[in-house]
Structure 1
Amino acid sequence: MIRTFFKDSFLYTLANLFTKGIGFVMLPVYLNFLDKVEYGTYDYVFTIGSFIAVIVSLEITQSVLRFSSEAKSHQEKSLYITNGVFFNFVSYTILLIVGLLFIEDLSLFLTGQSDQKSIAFLALVSYFVTSTLYMSSIVFRSNLDSKSATISSAFSAAIVAILGFVGLNVFEQSLIVILLSTIIGQLIVVVYNYSKISSYWLNKPNYNVLKKMLLFSSPLVLSSLGVVLSTLVDRMVIKELLGFSELAEYGVAARFASIVTLITLGFQSALAPLIYSQLDNPNVKSSIKKLFSIYCCASLLIFAFLFFVSDKLLLVIAGDNYHNSSYIFVLLSCAMLIQSAYVFFPGLSISGKTKMLAIINVAVGIANLLGNYMLVPAFGIEGAAYSTLFCSVLFFLINLFFSEREFSVLFEYCNKSRRITRS
């Protein structure tokens, strides 16, 4: 299991490195063409996309990953994937229709102006295409096909970056160009991915199977929404209380903090399907424990490195206009590293106690929402970062406590020694 994990984790990390590398190359380009208000709007549009991704399709990707990873035959696996792809498509089609009916209100919500209908429309299309691309990545992951997932992610990032760079140097409306490049670049990869996995999704949907999948994934909506609240609600509060300009500074810091996902997403992408497929393995817990130890060491090294280079990194890439973002960058990096460690403690998911997981995530999300409303007026964007860091620690500790009661990983050997002593 460990060997497979590191192979897949390396490939996912490589893809993240490439994707984030292109993102950092493009960041100064975006900041050169967008003023603070425009960049704040850009950041907010994609923040709302993260909320929509959780709610609209009822986290059906979680069911695809769970059930198709456990499937024993191609036919069984195809049944879960077909229903997942079908439900995701229908859900976002409904979103697109509803969004068009209330396009002025959506424009006001996303940009602060009711006449930016083109941006609102392109945002809707972008959400649709991004969700479709993500579903294909889930299919690759459920088949432990880390190579295909890596290649599609890298190609998508590269095409989007090339189209964005060319478009920004040719056309004037920068934000529209960025959205169009995202849509076209991802759509190209979507067509390729779905032609490659056609044997898995070109089947007739099954109502009973879909019902089973939704019964599993629906409770996770609150759970995932809580996670999104705990990580992204800060942007919403900053936008409402301070404005798009301050949101731009915070957004740049958050973009830099996403450097830590080079390790966390690689671990998460590789570990989840491996755990579900290896539950019958008697060594699975000891393997997870070893991987968690490695993750902790790697996280400390990454945090120390980012702590010392944050000022210079922001100055070189973002410029003087964003020099206040360096401290925020450090706080958010620490928060991401701590919160992402939850993947090593899957007890609640394995035992099927998704409602408890939802309660934890929602509670932490609400705590972060309240924390932001209390701290942002007093400390500005630093208050938002403090609230996010505190809630990341809170989430990890609560999840650790309840997960260990269902599927003990960290304290398994301590429990064994106690049982031996008592006997």
Structure 2
Amino acid sequence: MSSFFKNTSVYFLANILNAVIPFLLLPILTRYLSVEEYGQIAMFQLLITGLAGLVGLNTVGAAGRKFYDKNISKSELAIYNMNCLWILVFTAVAITLLTLLFSKEVALWLSIPSHWIYLAITISFSSFILQFRLSQWQIRGEAKKYGVLQVSNSLFNLCGSLIFVVVLSMGAQGRIDALFITGIITAIISFYFLVKHKLITFSFPNKKSIYEALNFGAPLVPHIFGVFLLSSADRYVINDSLGLGAAGVYLLAVQLSSALSIIFDAINKAYVPWLFESLTKDDELTKLNIVKNTYKYFVVLGVVAVFGFVLGPWVVTFVAGDNFSEAATIVGWLLLGQVFSGMYLMVTNYIFYSKETKLLSLVTIFTGALNVLLLYMLIPMFGLKGAAYSFCASMLIRFLLTWLIASKKVKMPWLLV
């Protein structure tokens, strides 16, 4: 357990630094970009989120899970990892070819320049390689290396954004260019370390390895699509119903509320390796302690949610200024939704451990579709508040349904008996 707390501290510090750097940009971007330009960036990030589940087909998780298989050699693991990268290449090429056919329609739908779509594909490709390298460090408990690369990525992003947006006055295009260049740099660094540490070895595509990786990752595509509907579709509906300016205001509130998700992610990154090892032992006393600590964690998150409603509006006004003042009215509800997401992370890990990811996809698709339905119902009634209400309700339902499935797939003493 000591290694868990040690790694949690490192992940927490790295994630805090990783979060602080973009947050330093918020007061700058909100003053150098118009509300409409901020809305364009929101739609671009919406596109990247949508591509994330398709580029590579979630095989970062497949490679991470493969590490815990028994009796697998380092060379076999390196070949398996290489086949995950082959899947990345195949999917990126396929998406690029489709984009050549439909780029104008997608650009019109998202209210962005068509050439941004190709930048988004490249950023998604680069992000996969970065996340692959980070994941391989995470499963091996090498939290410091993880943190250095993660924070470096944010620093590159910060410097690029300051140069292109502030110094060169390139507006929204400058922010996009910074993301693009940062993605290329960190992907090259990540690939270098994958090769150096012999985590990949060049080999031609292997049918068995590709099938195994896809068997883990492909069923998660609906799950990722559901996450997209849960966490990003609101920006499209807002843009469609209320305009780019409202989408920009909403994005700001989402970015501020995401501070909680960054903290939850840091805890989860350290928790998953420890949890999987503990579940492998199949010890009843250990399981009971896990459940007790999970409930204590839920109580803490409940307290955090209360403070979110009290302090959140003040933070919005302080950070963003008067142009984005409407964000103060919704940030508390978005923070509550993030709390439910933090609780969800504590129970979804059991489903990943059981490898029954198809059921997780069903839950996420259902709650994602519910979120879209609520968005179209509540936004006309409550404006931006309607989007926040929808997000919060959908996150609560996703957490409860996932908990129910997790309790069926991995037996845990949730009743404390």
TM-score, normalization: structure 1?
0.91
Mean alpha-carbon deviation: is it higher for 307-316 or for 99-108?
99-108
**Residues 123-158 of structure 1: CA distance to partner in whole angstroms, max 9, x if unpaired?**
332222222222222222232222222111100001
Question: Could you say if the C-alpha distance between residues 62 and 137 of structure 1 is closer, same or farther in structure 2, counting changes exceeding 3 Å?
Answer: same
- The question of whether the paired residues in 1 share the 8 Å contact of 2:56 and 2:85 is answered with no
Give the residue type in structure 1 aligned to 2:144: K
Q: Deviations over 1:335-390 (max 9, x none)?
A: 11112322322333333332222211111111111111111111111111111111
Aligned counterpart, 2:257: 257
Post-superposition CA distance 1:165-186 (Å, at most 9, x none): 0222332332221111112223
The 5 A counterparts of 1:17-416 are: 17-70=16-69, 72-111=72-111, 116-198=113-195, 199-204=198-203, 205-281=205-281, 282=283, 284-345=286-347, 346-411=349-414, 413-414=416-417
Deviation for aligned residue 1:254: 0.4
Structure 1 residues 30-79: Cα deviation after superposition (integer angstroms, max 9, x where no partner) = 11121111101101111221121013322212211211243543223223
| Residue pair 2:223, 2:361 contacting (<8 A) in 1 also | yes
Give the whole-Å Cα distance in 2 for the aligned partners of 1:413 and 1:310.
35
In 2, the alpha carbon distance for the partners of 1:288 and 1:139 equals 25
Displacement of 1:412 after TM fit? 5.6
The SS at the match of 1:388 is helix
CA distance in structure 2 between the aligned counterparts of 1:196 and 1:355, rounded to whole angstroms? 32
Q: Distance in 2 between matches of 1:173 and 1:106?
A: 23
Question: Given that residues 70 and 277 in structure 1 are in contact (C-alpha distance below 8 angstroms), is that contact kept between their aligned partners in structure 2?
Answer: no
Greater CA deviation, 100-109 or 140-149? 100-109
Shift of 1:392: 1.0
Q: Give the secondary-structure state (helix, strand or coil) at the position aligned to 2:169.
A: coil
Whole-angstrom CA distance in 2 between matches of 1:174 and 1:118: 16
The Cα of 1:88 is off from its aligned counterpart by 1.5
> Contact 1:64–1:142 (CA<8 Å) still a contact in 2?
no
In 1, distance between residues paired with 2:97 and 2:251? 29
Q: Which amino acid is the alignment partner of residue 336 of structure 2? A: C
Does structure 2 conserve the Cα–Cα contact (< 8 Å) formed by 1:13 and 1:266? yes
SS across alignment from 2:173: helix
Taking only aligned residues, the RMSD between alpha carbons, in angstroms, comes to 2.0
C-alpha deviation, 1:101, in angstroms: 4.3
Counterpart amino acid of 2:229? L
For residues 375 and 155 of structure 1, do their structure 2 counterparts lie closer, same or farther at Cα, with a shift above 3 Å needed? same
Note the C-alpha offset of 1:258.
0.4
- Counterparts of 2:47 and 2:289 in 1: how far apart (Å)? 37
Equivalent position of 1:419 in the other structure: none
Distance 1:240 1:410, change over 3 A: farther
Residue segments in structure 2 that go unaligned for 5+ positions in a row: none
CA contact (8 A) 1:55 1:225 kept: no
8 A Cα contact 1:126 1:179, kept in partner: no
Letter in 2 for 1:88: L
Q: Determine helix, strand or coil for the equivalent of 2:53.
A: helix
Aligned to 1:420: none
Maintained 8 Å contact 2:54/2:221: yes
C-alpha distance in structure 2 between counterparts of 1:301 and 1:408, whole Å: 28
Q: Is the 8 A contact 1:68 1:76 kept in 2?
A: no
2-structure distance, mates of 1:206, 1:80:
8
* Aligned mates of 2:359, 2:289 — CA distance in 1: 25
Distance 2:87 2:11 in 1: 26
Q: Deviations over 1:246-291 (max 9, x none)?
A: 1111111101100102321012222233333443222552353244
How many Å separate the matches in 2 of 1:158 and 1:145?
Answer: 21
Q: Structure 1's 383 and 135: CA in aligned 2 closer, same or farther, altered over 3 A?
A: same
Change (3 A) 1:184 1:294: farther
CA distance in 1, matches of 2:227, 2:290: 22
Distance 1:203 1:286 in 2: 44
1:62 aligned partner, one-letter code: G
Change (3 A) 1:135 1:322: same
Q: Which amino acid aligns with 2:412?
A: V
One-letter code aligned to 1:18: L
